[in-house]
Amino acid sequence: MDVIELNCSSFEFTNEDDFGYEVIHIHKAQSYDSFFRNIMFLNKPCLLKVPDLVNSWRSNIYWVKNNKPDFRYLNDNYGSAIVPVANCNEKYYNAQKKSEMKLCEFLKFWEAYCDKDYPSDMSLLYLKDWHFTKDYPEENVYRVPQYFASDWLNEYLCNRPDPSDDYRFVYMGPKGSWTPFHADVFTSFSWSVNVCGRKKWWLFPPGEEACLRDRHGQLAYDASAPELKDNVSFPNYHKLGKYYEVEQKSGEAIFVPSGWHHQVWNLEDTISINHNWVNGCNIDSMWKSLKNNLAAVKKEVEDCKEMDGWEEHCQVMLRATYGINYREFFSFLHFIAKERLRFIEEDKQISLFGDWLLGKHHAVFDLKQLKKVLDMLIRDSDAKALASFEKQIYEALNLSSQIELAVLKIKYNR
């Protein structure tokens, strides 16, 4: 196994400067350390055109024939799987209407859609968010590129006693299928690799999404819709600054930074593999997003503030609307911190996604970033207001102290 490592644990990262935004194109393999410092930590979008990135993937070998999806292979091997499918022609609130069907049924639609030359009068179906790896763990159809191996979110979810979810997906869709304007869950990073086909991405730097809200504050469904130019419906659209259009080809990977809104179209019949993930570079962004969503929940039900257990009720609502609450967030931090501490103190090797091994300096960086967020959680007024969260605050104090001691030992025993 290869190690992903940062060259020096004493390097002081800073993201306080305004580095500006451009989509960086990388045409040859570079070190993990370089990508981590110059792309991921600075939250910059990137298109990786690195040769041979997917050549050895089983999905590249078996799922594709003549640069197109191999419908027969997919049907023979996974046809009975139940998959989530969106209808790109049917809006449901601010998303696309979704249903479930067998993969064989979706593939039958897809073949017919291609044979009829992508007619506008047919439903336009798009297989999205298929937890393929969870459904077929033995298949091992791709290897996570080293640049994306530090994935706390899926590390946590996949190591729970009852792993019921993850954020590892397969997407399959015909030419013309698309995903509406959105930002990813928990303000996570996302990476996407095209096994075959081409995609067009529109990427919007943080803050620009405010210009695509209607007069009621709702985000636009389609960032390319003509009605956005209606000053009454979208009063701030004329203030929209720069956004980026990127074409992603077969075998290329795109890195979408934390908090960037985006919209995606399939320009050809396309299969892609995608992960959402969080690590030490954007854990503070996840924490801020969690707090902002709790504030929104509290505002929504502030007229019930005098009811018994109001704070706890807000946490229930936060879990329902955001997908995680304070208790689960602390459980997530606690798990990653304990794993890194065991590595530092007991020399317990950590195998990451793609069978990459975590380096010691990287573990130190992780612990430092965890401590920053733990300390913010300890001081947080909303956390203190939760009577049932008192034990977690005490555990967070102990964990922060353990991290501080472990980092100091590393620093002075080198």
DSSP state for residue 229 in the 8-state scheme? G
Beta bridge partner(s), residue 358 = 4
Query: Mean of the per-residue pLDDT values for the chain?
Result: 94
Name the one residue in this structure whose structure tokens are 């930074």: 257
Taking the C-alpha atoms of 64, 65, 67 and 69 in order, what is their torsion angle to the nearest 10 degrees?
A: -50
- The full set of domain ranges for the chain reads 24-205+242-277, 283-412
pLDDT digits (tens, 9 = 90+) for 132-182: 999 999 999 999 999 999 999 999 999 987 767 899 999 999 999 999 999
E strands within 28-163? Answer: 46-48, 64-65, 68-69, 82-92, 95-102, 125-130
DSSP state for residue 2 in the 8-state scheme? P
State the burial class of residue 70 (Cβ atoms within 10 Å of its Cβ: 0-12, 13-18, 19+). Answer: middle
Look at residue 98 and tell me whether its pLDDT is greater than 60. yes
Distance CA 71, CA 106 (A): 10
SS3 of residue 84 by DSSP: strand
Share of the chain above pLDDT 70, in %: 96
Pair 141, 99: CB distance under 8 Å: no
Q: Say what the pLDDT of residue 45 is.
A: 97
Q: Say what the pLDDT of residue 164 is.
A: 73
Q: Can you give the pTM of this predicted structure?
A: 0.94
CATH number of 24-205+242-277: 2.60.120.650
State the burial class of residue 361 (Cβ atoms within 10 Å of its Cβ: 0-12, 13-18, 19+). Answer: middle
Q: Say what the pLDDT of residue 332 is.
A: 97
| Two structure tokens written together for 377 | 């959680």
pLDDT digits (tens, 9 = 90+) for 366-414: 999 999 999 999 999 999 999 999 999 999 999 999 999 999 988 777 5
